[in-house]
Structure 1
């Protein structure tokens, strides 16, 4: 049998019915009898017919595809957000196209253009750490009706909905927990401060110290990467100083893990001598020999909420109304052995 894809005209000719009848049968039109639908579908399958999704999209104005741009996919956080988006949108017939920016604004720009050229119905985006200038995003708002939803990492751009957690609150409660456990000289691994999420976690840390009459020391604030090696290097840097901390609040679980590894190497007891708490609640934090306390970002919930915001946008745009939502989720803190001294 010839495996070349057939068209609805080929099916029409073979069955000796009109092209309109074939089209309606394939689209489950109520005016077509079930027997005719079954015959058309069976014949279409035998003739290797594949529906022209582009033509269908042009007719309906929807491709039923959405794009997701993340810095990396190989972290539990971003993969879980993607899972949440997919679970929310899949029942509505949407498919996701996943892109990685690799923390590079130029790659981010290329992905945006590719997704727009593919006529996706919406774009979910967590910006790269090199995205300082946002002109490429603002241009989309000026030239396209494609809705953009920021999640986790965002930029304050009018017309774009956002779904985040309260990073300030997360930084505050993590630091407050350490203070309640009796720690007073608390260091902060601040992450990349070009990103708003890390600025907010830092500000929460500072305010918790101030509210508990503890001094904010610039030497105790270290800008680090979000990697195990960054945590190791941060400990080495701290222990070169005369006054070492008795607790560490890391804006990254991976940096917190690196800190624990280096402290253990130096025979420093956790949490008796130095406590450690991270941020993101990566799965490894609870399964280690010494489980690490962490602030959970509820990524699946974040993805589901982003999906709901998109669906509301689609619904409202059908009425000619544009919406902009700012959803802020509450962080959850998980206390484990690495920071529980009392």
Structure 2
């Protein structure tokens, strides 16, 4: 880690020439230790950002400084946003959830080993240097099959952002040139030719609030995560789903995939297949096919396409038949005790 200067509020007021911002620090500190990021000034935002959680006009407004643990345990989230609770619980260890902020969690960086180890070439870390993840014999278990480009195939690693995108969330930002609202699905950029530019945030722009609609479909949702081990691991494939049902007919739905995209991957194509239709097994499987129709798996990741389809279909069928799992069932499912 290279030397740096630490500042605290009020010196952390957003400005285009300002420092690198640290909230909970659970991602930034790791990358600084690895010398992947080497900022000369770091502004600690603890105490500067709002931690409030409140319902306003049918939406849940969450301060960006709220911790993952606090949001997961909030009564409104428990009762009306189960997929958000599940994603937060399954995202990390209790220690990390008690430190990491929800604003910072949306901006976490990829776990691609070729990005996180400086001896490898990585266009995301050093623009134009190349992508060793695409070389023969590379480890591609943490790579994407949706939204990839010739410059980058690294996947987005987070869980909460997948549920946030699925449910139609938005973020409110603060910036000297003007605040704005950004849809969750527009926050992260596809890599294309500039994989080092990961979001649409301007220099010095901070996330100030997260806004989640409290819809009927959001109240009947869950986040299903498949990983190599049962705890403290990133998703090989995941699905954040919500269904509003009128009998066996889907009135509205929310669908997004994790572990397989270069960004949190909401699927309007899959939602369109289900909306207004009976939630039959055949219709659900057709939705799963639609969600992965544009997949372009790098060599060695083809299995993730099948895995993502089956994860999404399983999540939708389970939700249709039994509703959101309670905490005990959720943990049993994640430990493999109820998977057929």
- Normalised by the length of structure 2, the TM-score is 0.22
- Normalised by the length of structure 1, the TM-score is 0.22
More helix by share: 1
Specify the structure having the higher radius of gyration (Cα): 1
